[in-house]
């Protein structure tokens, strides 16, 4: 049986963002990502995220594999081997048989969650009638 592995993950980062001002005219659909910047930008009120509507979704990350292996090998050494130089203590060419059998298996699984969110107090939702997500801190303007 061949080993099988499945996984889902998010691996992207844009580092060293000092502040942000994002405007999306219609809908923002944020899956498995966080938009954030420095604490200084938050304190200075230089972050802003403005969108018509917004939805966020966390990602369930999974990794799982299962592998098994089996092997058989053997050999015969007649009359001193290929060169005829292999001899016993009496100087006679040796004859030998070798054999081996092996079996191994391994499996593992891991999971975690990649969360979604926007790291600012200044989130502005412009289409309050169609917005599927609201929090107590969200500002809604028409």
Same domain (yes/no): 95, 129: no
**Number of domains into which the chain is organized:** 2
Query: Between 11 and 26, where is the model more confident?
Result: 26
Same domain (yes/no): 59, 9: yes
DSSP string, 13-30: --------EEEEEEEEEE
Same domain (yes/no): 100, 78: yes
Same domain (yes/no): 100, 87: yes
- For the stretch 38-87, pLDDT in tens is 778 778 878 888 888 888 888 888 888 888 999 999 888 777 666 667 77
Buried/exposed code over 99-112 (b: 16+ C-beta within 10 A; e: otherwise) = eeeeeeeeeeeeee
Same domain (yes/no): 59, 70: no
Same domain (yes/no): 52, 114: yes
Same domain (yes/no): 17, 41: yes
- For the stretch 85-99, pLDDT in tens is 777 778 787 777 888
**Residue 137 pLDDT greater than 80, yes or no:** no
Same domain (yes/no): 57, 12: yes
Q: What is the mean pLDDT of the chain?
A: 76
The domain containing residue 92 runs over which residues? 66-106
Same domain (yes/no): 79, 130: no
Same domain (yes/no): 117, 50: yes
């Amino acid at each position: 049986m061949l080993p099988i592995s499945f996984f889902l993950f998010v691996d992207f980062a844009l580092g060293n963002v000092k502040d942000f001002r994002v405007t999306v005219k219609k809908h923002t659909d944020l899956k498995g990502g966080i938009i954030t910047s420095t604490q200084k930008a938050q304190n200075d009120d230089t972050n802003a995220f403005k969108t018509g509507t917004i939805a966020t979704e966390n990602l369930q990350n999974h990794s799982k594999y299962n592998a098994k292996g089996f092997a058989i090998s053997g050999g015969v050494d007649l009359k001193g081997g290929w060169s005829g130089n292999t001899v016993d203590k009496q100087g006679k060419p040796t004859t030998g048989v070798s054999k081996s059998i092996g079996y191994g298996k391994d499996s593992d699984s891991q999971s975690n969650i990649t969360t979604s969110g926007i790291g600012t107090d200044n989130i502005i939702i412009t289409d309050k009638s169609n917005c599927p997500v609201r929090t107590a801190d969200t500002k809604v303007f028409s």
